Amino acid sequence: DAKTTQPNSMESNEEEPVHLPCNHSTISGTDYIHWYRQLPSQGPEYVIHGLTSNVNNRMASLAIAEDRKSSTLILHRATLRDAAVYYCILLNSGGSNYKLTFGKGTLLTVNP
Amino acid sequence: KAGVTQTPRYLIKTRGQQVTLSCSPISGHRSVSWYQQTPGQGLQFLFEYFSETQRNKGNFPGRFSGRQFSNSRSEMNVSTLELGDSALYLCASSRVGDGLANTGELFFGEGSRLTVL
């Protein structure tokens, strides 16, 4: 199964950009890269996902390396509400027999 | 639009007992998946149900089981509880389709926190 590797923790200042990396060197061609975040005492919340091309939405941007062995979640201007654990997840789209692989997550601290 | 509802939110059991957790997905979502979250192992996939059928299962012992009803509500059961089963159990639902990869988004509940004494 493909696995992901993320730094245990990162720190940022408010209103500065944050780049959260994820390594997935054994990713397969049918694995989608998903990012979720989990605030304290809440269930995970969807952030963004992509397959090969970079993606943008109102919450963040996802930059995917050309070889797809790594990706970076970009928060353009961190706020205190962005403090959470961020998970990089691979979802294999192989028909109905998909598989999920969770990273350990990165704890993001945002300083005021 | 109501979110994913999990009950109970908190429960305490003793070793050897069994427990049943419930998950009501977002209306119209037919896929329901379950996850175990612990400080040591992080988030681990348990199983996923779609239209009352289990489509995939993670690497958990047979003591962990689940089912889905015709209204898409799902339950998971853990029998012969062990101390190591203490965890936050999360449920997520997603839209109809070929599964999670095609819908792009999982909607999680707030979880059921199980403590085994």
Nearest to B99 among A41, A87, A98 (CB): A98
Nearest to A96 among B44, B99, B111 (CB): B99
Provide DSSP, A24-90.
Answer: -TT--TTEEEEEEEE-TTS--EEEEEESSS-EE-SS-EEEE-TTSSEEEEEESS--GGG-EEEEEEE
Residue type, A30: T
Q: What share of chain B is helix, strand, coil (3-state, %, to 5)?
A: 5, 50, 45
Closest approach of chain B CAs to the CA of A69, in angstroms? Answer: 18
CB contact under 8 A, B110 and A36: no
pLDDT in tens, A5-62: 999 999 999 999 999 999 999 888 888 899 999 998 889 999 999 989 999 999 899 9
| Measured distance CA(A19)–CA(A12) in Å, rounded | 9
Mean pLDDT is lowest, of A25-34, B22-31, B59-68, for A25-34
Residue type, A111: N
The enclosing H or E element of A43 equals: none
- Residue B110 with chain A: CB contacts under 8 Å: 41-43
Nearest to A93 among B101, B107, B108 (CB): B101
Buried b (16+ CB within 10 A) or exposed e, A52-78: eeebeeeebbbbbeeebebbbbebeeb
pLDDT in tens, A59-92: 899 999 999 999 999 999 999 999 999 999 887 7
